[in-house]
Structure 1
C-alpha cells in the first residue's frame, strides 16, 4: 500500500470512543438499561422520530440466536438489546441495527450490528427516536412472542432453542418505570434503575437509610447497588414467598420517599449520621452476574 493510500485509509477511520452513559438524554433510559441487563424476556414499542414515525418497531431484551435485528414477513421490525456490541457506544450499535432493519427486506436477519462502513459512524438511538417518549415494557413469561401468532408450533432445532431460552428465564415483573421484581432462585429482589447522577442518588439513599426508611417493610432490606451503563441501580432483598404484586404499593411509597429526599438535598446537606450511612452504602456496591 502506497503512502497516499495509507493516508486516505487513516482519514476514513472513525475513532471508537467509549460512552459510559449511552442512553443519556432518552426518557426511556431506565427501561433500556433494565432490558439490556436483567429483564429476561421483554418487549416494547419504540417511538421513532421523523419520516419513520409511523413504522412499527419493537425493541426486545433478546431475539432468537441473540440477533441484532430482524424483519418479519409482515414487515414488522424487531431490534435486540442483549447483543454482542461492536463499538464503545451501545447506542450507536443499536442505531445501526435499527437503521439496517428499517431498510431491510421482510425475512432478513442481522446477526451483529453493521459496521462495514468505518467512514460512516451511523446514527445513535438519540438521533432516531422521540427522545421524550417513555418505553412501556411488557414482560413475558417465556419467548413464545418470538414466533408470529399464525405460525405453527416449532420443531427440531428451533423448538430446542426456544426451550433452552425458556428454561433460563428468571421470573420477572415490572412494578413501575425502571423497577423490576426478580425471583433469582431462592431469593427475590427489587432492582430499580434510577435516572439520577450517582453521587446525588447515593446521598438520597443515605438520607433514607439514616432515617430507617430505606426498606419496603418488614422482612426486606437494602442489599446494595451496581452500576449499569452510567447509572446506579439500587437493589433490595424481598420475601421470596410474597407475590410480585404485593410489592407494587411499598415500591411506590419508597419511590415517593426517595423523591422527597432528592428535593431536600437542595436545602439541607447531609448531617454526620447521613454521611456515615452514605459511606456504608458506597461499600455495598457489587457486580451483577
Structure 2
C-alpha cells in the first residue's frame, strides 16, 4: 500500500526500448570486398558492382550514388540497386546498407527507399556480413556518367533528370588500377588513392621501409603525399604528373604493390632500423581520418 492507503499502479511495460547506436569503426571487416566497398563509399564517383548474396539468387547491383541520393531503388525494368553514398546514416554503415539490401529484395519496379530506417531497433541479420558471401570480391565497373540510373533507351525527366544532370557535372575522371586502387584527376592535380587491407601499424611500417630505401614512389613524376583513414583502413595517396594518363601508371602501381608485399613479409623477421623508424614517424605526421 502506498501513502494514504492507495495501491501503486502496475508498472508500464509498453515503452519502446532504447536503441544503442554504437559507432562501428571498421564496418566492412570480414568481407573480402572491404577495400572496394570503402573506395566506392568515399571517392569513386560513378561505378556499379553486382553483389553475391548468401542463400539467394536474386540480382542486386551496388551503386556509388543513386538518383536523389536514395538508399535503394528498383528501376522500371526491375533491376534493383542499393547506394553506397547516402547522406544520412547511423553509426554502423554496414547495418544501414544491410537494411537497404533487405528492403530492395522485396521492392517492386519504381519503388524508392529515401534512407534506411536507422532509428528503429536493429534486427538480426541486417548487416552486409549477414547477407553477402564473405569471400566474394567485387567486379567494379566504372562509368563516365550516371546513365545507368535508367534502363537502356529510356529518357530522364522531372526530378530524376535534374538529379542526373547535377551528378554528371560533379564526376571527376577516374580509372581503376587494381583492387582498391584508383587514379583520379581532381582539377589541377592527379592522385592515386589505394585502400589497403592490412592493419594500419603493419602497413605504415612497410611504407616506412620503402620510404627509407627510396622505393615508395610509382616512378618519375610521382610523390607520396600522405594517407587518410577511412572506415578502419589506411588509404595511402600519391600525387601524380597530370600530363600522364592513368594507364601510364599501371605498371608503376603494380611494381609498387610487389615491393610493398615484400616489405610486409620482411617485417616478420626484420624489425625497422633507426632510419626506417624515422621514416615511419614522418609518415604518421601526414595522416587524416575520415569517418
Q: TM-score, normalised by structure 2?
A: 0.93
Which residue of 1 is the match for residue 4 of structure 2?
none
Q: Which secondary structure does the structure 2 equivalent of 1:286 belong to?
A: strand
Contact residue 13 and residue 119 of structure 1 kept, 8 A = no
Question: Separation in 2 of the partners of 1:27 and 1:69?
Answer: 23
The one-character-per-residue Cα deviations of 1:230-284 (angstroms, maximum 9, x if unpaired) are 0010000001111111111110000010000000000000000000000000011
Q: Which secondary structure does the structure 2 equivalent of 1:9 belong to?
A: coil
**RMSD over equivalenced CA pairs, Å:** 1.8
Question: Separation in 2 of the partners of 1:122 and 1:288?
Answer: 27
Which residue of 2 is the match for residue 94 of structure 1?
97
Which residue of 2 is the match for residue 63 of structure 1?
66
Alpha-carbon distance change, 45 to 264 in structure 1, aligned in 2, over 3 angstroms:
same
Contact residue 193 and residue 235 of structure 2 kept, 8 A = yes
Higher Cα radius of gyration: 2
The one-character-per-residue Cα deviations of 1:134-173 (angstroms, maximum 9, x if unpaired) are 001111111111111031x324543332111111111111
Higher helix share: 1
Which residue of 2 is the match for residue 137 of structure 1?
140
Question: Separation in 2 of the partners of 1:233 and 1:225?
Answer: 5
Contact residue 95 and residue 126 of structure 2 kept, 8 A = yes
Which residue of 1 is the match for residue 204 of structure 2?
202
Question: Separation in 2 of the partners of 1:131 and 1:147?
Answer: 29
Alpha-carbon distance change, 198 to 287 in structure 1, aligned in 2, over 3 angstroms:
closer
The one-character-per-residue Cα deviations of 1:73-128 (angstroms, maximum 9, x if unpaired) are 33321000001343210000000000010011221100001246426365100000
Question: Separation in 1 of the partners of 2:203 and 2:249?
Answer: 22
Question: Separation in 2 of the partners of 1:74 and 1:168?
Answer: 27
Q: TM-score, normalised by structure 1?
A: 0.93
1:76 aligns with 2:79: yes
Unaligned runs of 5+ in 1: none
- For residue 171 of structure 2, the aligned residue among 164, 169, 172 is 169
Alpha-carbon distance change, 34 to 118 in structure 1, aligned in 2, over 3 angstroms:
same
Superposed structure 1 runs of 4+ greater than 4 Å apart: none
**CA deviation after TM superposition for structure 1 residue 286, in Å:** 3.2
Question: Separation in 2 of the partners of 1:146 and 1:172?
Answer: 19
Question: Separation in 2 of the partners of 1:83 and 1:100?
Answer: 15
Which deviates more, 184-193 or 138-147? 138-147
Question: Separation in 2 of the partners of 1:119 and 1:185?
Answer: 41
| Count of paired positions | 283
Which residue of 2 is the match for residue 46 of structure 1?
51
Question: Separation in 1 of the partners of 2:64 and 2:86?
Answer: 9
Contact residue 51 and residue 60 of structure 2 kept, 8 A = yes
Which deviates more, 113-122 or 270-279? 113-122
Which residue of 2 is the match for residue 271 of structure 1?
273
Question: Separation in 1 of the partners of 2:146 and 2:97?
Answer: 21
The one-character-per-residue Cα deviations of 1:208-246 (angstroms, maximum 9, x if unpaired) are 000000000011110000010000100000011111111
